[in-house]
């Protein structure tokens, strides 16, 4: 939202405060000011001038003009009367008119914010006419898009030589760019009047709304010939006020006016006198207005008594809008109807069937409020994001529809004569009351206000207060639709007096317990990174193609209905596919050998729901190891997995792989299930060759994944049993066992361990090689073993007996 600082400040006492400080205060106590557009010098060097002489140059569109600037411009050549010569191409230039003249050296306002603003000088035209400066059109002055001629200024207040800025009440302005989002609950601040009230409160000044706003005239002398009934559904339309006018409409304003300059400074464009007047009312009071052609309205509704019926649209009902689009409505839309025939999509746009045109004789002005919930849906369904609906979706107060309609009648009397007023609401409602105690305020904010200070802060922005002991009874003004409970009042007190004036005081610290899952993740992160692996983060959302590519079923993934792109349509079922997906780009970038891992939540549909009835998740560690130079990376991935599990103190075993819906990417013949306490806690294996080809990755790429909740359950922490040291000499031996090819390695290792454990020895054991001679049906598995007795030095015979046992294993 753009707000003219000059407009905002009018009526406030702001002499004692600089604009910068004022903007800072607004930022600290009302709303974030995203930026200040400085237009202080935008209209410098532009004067009101009278055209004294004007002669068409034959066969050109140009006129040679002499203008009276009352001698204010410097560095111009003047004739014997002191007039300045300007060439002008506008068809409407004529003797006696007052125009806006951009003097030589001044900037054309429309280019003011350009990288290189256009500065007017003296030009020689048609090779012989000197032209000083230019007489400007509305577009050049940045007051709209009108390029049909130069602007004319009302002779009633135009004075040759006066600056354009002064003529229009000071155009030397700053425009505040307001971040709307934090005002979602404050419909009142979407009008300059409400915004100004807040600024008064912030400055500690008492703001007083005018009587016409607070107490609009109750009686209106209706012309009995004008008939109009109003029937509303209060849930959809809390209030509907209408005034019927006799209209002598003009297509275009005869003169540039102050309102057009305000529209321009508020980011809007002048359109026509009546549209401009509705827009100004909206900018001033936050109340959008709409004008219908009364006679068309009556005709559309048929022969019955004219009646406005506001109702929910019917499914599939069609309406042609002002912009020519035909929209198909749904039951969330609200329509304004003439005896049940739709004439407008409420809050959004009028219908073509009741549009005002050059033949319009009578006008209905609508000043109404609608359910913000319905209009929000209308906004979404039809993609209409106008200034008006933006305001309606904040929930404009019903209390001001009549006052604003009457105000409109007041300012448009030149071409609109009010005939009759109709209002769905007969009486103004009594204001809501909220009671708050002084203790509540000070206890919640941590402040030390006395009761009078609080009342003053609230009274400044027109809350009526009444003190009853330690309690304050607050009458909420009708425009504060957001205030219902004591905390709402407390916020007002804290905000208007400045939250930054509250002294920060530390409460006593609570005590906390470390979160085991975070500790686990930190441990894993440190361990894997210290062993050369790289932690990554990848999106939770994946392409459906990625799922099918790795053999997962898309129907096992939750599907996003409003995804940004197909790439991000499904919620992933496991981490490893994301890692595979990200690997090739790294290979291509020249990384031949690397490991990626990620720890994150996954939500395969197969997990069902938790106690809150939301999808159950698993916390997963995914790991991939890439090395194209090696035939199989299974054993490297396994080394990472085993070192990790042993540092965590997880008692695990490597067991036969079991395929399921989620782990389908592992090659079953070269993969394993990792179990602890008979529960599967993860999988380890090579990825299927066909899948790896899809990722352009080398055959043999391996991965593992662990369920971190299970790991946490079984992690006993690093134990010290491995660090036992005997005081007696240890024996170092190599053992090679020759066994059939299909004997699992682990059986050999377990048997070796059993032998050493049975003797109650302290030992270390490591496999040094597995060898198969060419064509052999057996393999030789070699171990290096160190052992010692905790109690004594082992005798030679004892050692031999142990070795014999070890070597006889098969």
CB of 254 to other proteins, least distance (A): 41
- Residues 469-498, mask of contacts with other proteins (x by CB under 8 A): ----------------x-xx-xx--xx---
Near other proteins by CB under 8 A, which window of 223-231, 242-250, 309-317, 532-540?
532-540
Cα separations in angstroms, 438 against 29, 101, 414, 469, 482: 21, 60, 52, 10, 21
Near other proteins by CB under 8 A, which window of 6-14, 28-36, 162-170, 423-431?
28-36
Under the binding rule (CB under 8 A), the answer on residue 615 touching other proteins is yes
Is the CA virtual torsion 469, 470, 473, 479 positive or negative? positive
Spell out a b/e string for 704-739, using b for 16 or more CB atoms within 10 Å of the CB, else e: bbbbbebbbebbeeeeeeeeeebeeebbeeebebeb
CB of 7 to other proteins, least distance (A): 22
DSSP readout, 726-783? -SS--EEEEEEEEEETTS-HHHHHHHHHHHHHHTT-EEEEEEEEEE--TT-SEEEEEE
Name which position in 248, 531, 724, 753 contacts other proteins (CB under 8 A). 531
Instruction: Say if CB 171 and CB 165 are below 8 A apart.
Output: yes
Name which position in 52, 227, 269, 525 contacts other proteins (CB under 8 A). 525
Spell out a b/e string for 122-158, using b for 16 or more CB atoms within 10 Å of the CB, else e: eeeeeeeeebbbbbbbbbbbbbbebeebbbbbeeeeb
For residues 49 and 596, which CB has a smaller minimum distance to other proteins in the complex? 596
For residues 311 and 525, which CB has a smaller minimum distance to other proteins in the complex? 525
Name which position in 535, 545, 661, 798 contacts other proteins (CB under 8 A). 535
CB of 418 to other proteins, least distance (A): 34
Rounded to the nearest angstrom, the gap between the alpha carbon of residue 520 and the centroid of all alpha carbons in its chain is 35
Considering only residues 398-417, where is the footprint of other proteins by CB under 8 A? none
Name which position in 98, 463, 603, 652 contacts other proteins (CB under 8 A). 603
CB of 670 to other proteins, least distance (A): 5
Considering only residues 633-692, where is the footprint of other proteins by CB under 8 A? 634-636, 638-640, 643, 654, 656-657, 667, 669-672, 684-685, 689-690
CB of 346 to other proteins, least distance (A): 16
Task: Give the helix/strand (H/E) hosting 202.
Answer: helix 192-202
H-helix segments, 383-475: 387-392, 401-411, 438-445, 451-460
Closest CA to 517 of 704, 649, 711: 711
CB of 582 to other proteins, least distance (A): 4
Name which position in 612, 678, 716, 734 contacts other proteins (CB under 8 A). 612
Considering only residues 382-401, where is the footprint of other proteins by CB under 8 A? 393-394
Instruction: Say if CB 157 and CB 246 are below 8 A apart.
Output: no
Q: Is 558 helix (H, G, I), strand (E, B) or coil?
A: coil
Under the binding rule (CB under 8 A), the answer on residue 307 touching other proteins is no
CB of 400 to other proteins, least distance (A): 20
Instruction: Say if CB 732 and CB 786 are below 8 A apart.
Output: yes
Name which position in 254, 324, 514, 775 contacts other proteins (CB under 8 A). 514
- Residues 340-379, mask of contacts with other proteins (x by CB under 8 A): --------------------------------xx--xx--
Tokens of 795: 């005798």
Considering only residues 44-83, where is the footprint of other proteins by CB under 8 A? none
Under the binding rule (CB under 8 A), the answer on residue 543 touching other proteins is no
Under the binding rule (CB under 8 A), the answer on residue 600 touching other proteins is yes
Integer Cα distance of 626 and 586 in angstroms: 10
- What is the phi/psi pair of residue 639, to 5°? -60, -45
Under the binding rule (CB under 8 A), the answer on residue 526 touching other proteins is yes
Considering only residues 190-219, where is the footprint of other proteins by CB under 8 A? none
Under the binding rule (CB under 8 A), the answer on residue 443 touching other proteins is yes
Closest CA to 627 of 636, 618, 619: 636
Considering only residues 746-785, where is the footprint of other proteins by CB under 8 A? 746-747, 749, 767-772, 779
Name which position in 16, 115, 326, 564 contacts other proteins (CB under 8 A). 564
For residues 43 and 704, which CB has a smaller minimum distance to other proteins in the complex? 704
Under the binding rule (CB under 8 A), the answer on residue 617 touching other proteins is yes
Integer Cα distance of 616 and 13 in angstroms: 60
| Count of residues engaged in binding other proteins, rule: CB under 8 A | 129
Integer Cα distance of 550 and 349 in angstroms: 51
The strand ranges marked E within 577-688 are: 593-602, 618-627, 653-656, 666-676, 679-687
Tokens of 543: 């392409």
Considering only residues 174-193, where is the footprint of other proteins by CB under 8 A? 181-186
Instruction: Say if CB 340 and CB 310 are below 8 A apart.
Output: no
CB of 56 to other proteins, least distance (A): 54
Tokens of 271: 């359109």
- Residues 569-598, mask of contacts with other proteins (x by CB under 8 A): --x------xx--x--xx--x-x-xxxx-x
Name which position in 512, 678, 717, 760 contacts other proteins (CB under 8 A). 512
What torsion, rounded to 10 degrees, do the Cα atoms 597, 601, 602, 608 define? 150
Considering only residues 245-304, where is the footprint of other proteins by CB under 8 A? none
For residues 659 and 799, which CB has a smaller minimum distance to other proteins in the complex? 659
Name which position in 631, 720, 721, 796 contacts other proteins (CB under 8 A). 631
Tokens of 154: 């009302």
């Amino acid at each position: 939202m753009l707000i003219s600082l000059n407009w905002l400040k009018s009526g406030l006492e702001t002499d004692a405060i600089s604009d910068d400080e004022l903007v800072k205060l607004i930022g600290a106590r009302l709303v974030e000011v995203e930026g200040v557009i400085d237009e202080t010098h935008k209209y410098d060097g532009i004067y009101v001038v009278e055209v004294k002489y004007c002669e068409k140059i034959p066969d050109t569109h140009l006129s040679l003009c002499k203008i009276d600037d009352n001698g204010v411009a410097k560095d111009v050549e003047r004739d014997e009367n002191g007039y300045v010569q300007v060439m002008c191409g506008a068809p409407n230039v004529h003797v006696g008119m007052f125009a806006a003249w951009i003097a030589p050296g001044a900037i054309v306002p429309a280019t003011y914010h350009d990288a290189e603003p256009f500065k007017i000088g003296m030009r020689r035209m048609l090779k012989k006419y000197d032209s000083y400066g230019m007489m400007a059109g509305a577009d050049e002055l940045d007051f709209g898009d009108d390029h049909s001629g130069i602007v004319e200024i009302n002779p009633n207040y135009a004075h040759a030589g006066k600056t354009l800025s002064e003529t229009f009440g000071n155009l030397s302005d700053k425009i505040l760019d307001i971040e709307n989002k934090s005002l979602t609950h404050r419909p009142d601040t979407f009008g300059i009047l409400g915004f100004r009230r807040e600024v008064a409160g912030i400055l500690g000044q008492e703001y007083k709304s005018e009587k016409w706003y607070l107490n609009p005239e109750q009686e209106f002398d209706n012309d009995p010939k004008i008939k109009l009934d109003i029937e509303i559904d209060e849930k959809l339309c809390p209030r509907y006020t209408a005034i019927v006018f006799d209209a002598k409409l003009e297509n275009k304003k005869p003169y540039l006016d102050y309102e057009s300059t305000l529209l321009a400074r508020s980011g809007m464009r002048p359109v026509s006198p009546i549209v401009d007047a509705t827009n100004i009312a909206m900018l001033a009071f936050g109340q959008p207005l709409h004008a219908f052609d009364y006679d068309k309205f009556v005709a559309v509704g048929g022969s019955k008594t004219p009646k406005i019926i506001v109702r929910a649209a019917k499914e599939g009902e069609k309406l042609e809008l002002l912009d020519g689009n035909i929209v198909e409505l749904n039951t969330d839309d609200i329509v304004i109807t003439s005896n049940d025939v739709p004439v407008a999509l409420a809050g959004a746009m009028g219908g073509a069937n009741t549009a005002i045109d050059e033949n319009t004789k009578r006008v209905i002005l609508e000043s109404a409020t609608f359910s913000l919930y319905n209009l929000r849906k209308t906004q979404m369904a039809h993609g209409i994001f106008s200034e008006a609906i933006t305001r309606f979706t904040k929930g404009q107060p019903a209390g001001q529809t009549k006052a604003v309609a009457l105000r409109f009648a007041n300012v448009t009397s030149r071409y609109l004569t009010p005939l009759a007023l109709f209002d769905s609401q007969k009486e103004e409602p009594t204001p809501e009351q909220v009671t708050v105690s002084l203790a509540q305020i000070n206890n919640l904010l941590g402040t030390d206000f006395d009761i009078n200070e609080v009342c003053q802060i609230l009274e400044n922005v027109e809350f009526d207060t009444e003190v009853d002991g330690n309690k304050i009874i607050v009458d909420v003004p009708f425009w504060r639709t957001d205030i219902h409970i004591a905390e709402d009042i407390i916020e007002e007190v804290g905000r208007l007096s400045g939250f930054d004036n509250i002294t920060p005081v530390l409460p006593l610290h609570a005590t906390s317990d470390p979160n085991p899952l975070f500790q686990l993740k930190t441990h894993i992160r440190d361990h894997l990174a210290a062993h050369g692996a790289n932690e990554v983060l990848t999106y939770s959302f994946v392409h459906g193609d990625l799922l099918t590519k790795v053999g997962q079923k898309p129907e096992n993934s939750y599907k996003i209905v409003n995804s940004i792109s197909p790439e991000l349509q499904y919620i992933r079922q496991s981490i490893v596919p994301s890692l595979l997906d990200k690997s090739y780009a790294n290979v291509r970038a020249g990384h031949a050998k690397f490991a990626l891992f990620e720890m994150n939540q996954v939500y395969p549909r197969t997990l069902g729901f938790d106690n809150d009835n939301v999808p159950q998740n698993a916390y997963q560690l995914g790991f991939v190891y890439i090395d194209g130079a090696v035939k199989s990376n299974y054993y490297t991935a396994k080394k990472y997995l085993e070192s990790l599990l042993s540092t965590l103190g997880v008692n695990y075993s490597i067991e036969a792989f079991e395929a399921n819906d989620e782990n389908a990417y592992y090659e079953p013949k070269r993969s394993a299930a990792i179990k602890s306490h008979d529960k599967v806690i993860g999988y380890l294996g090579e990825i299927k060759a066909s899948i790896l080809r899809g990722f352009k990755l080398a055959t043999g790429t391996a991965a593992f994944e662990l369920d971190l909740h299970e790991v946490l359950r079984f992690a006993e922490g690093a134990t010290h049993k491995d660090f036992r040291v005997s005081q007696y000499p240890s024996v170092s031996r190599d053992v090679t066992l020759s066994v059939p090819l299909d004997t699992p390695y682990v059986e050999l290792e377990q048997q070796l361990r059993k032998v050493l454990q049975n003797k109650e020895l302290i030992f270390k054991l490591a496999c040094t090689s597995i060898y198969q001679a060419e064509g052999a049906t057996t393999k030789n598995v070699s171990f290096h073993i160190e052992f010692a007795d905790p109690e004594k030095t082992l005798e030679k015979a004892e050692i031999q007996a142990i070795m014999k046992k070890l070597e006889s294993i098969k």
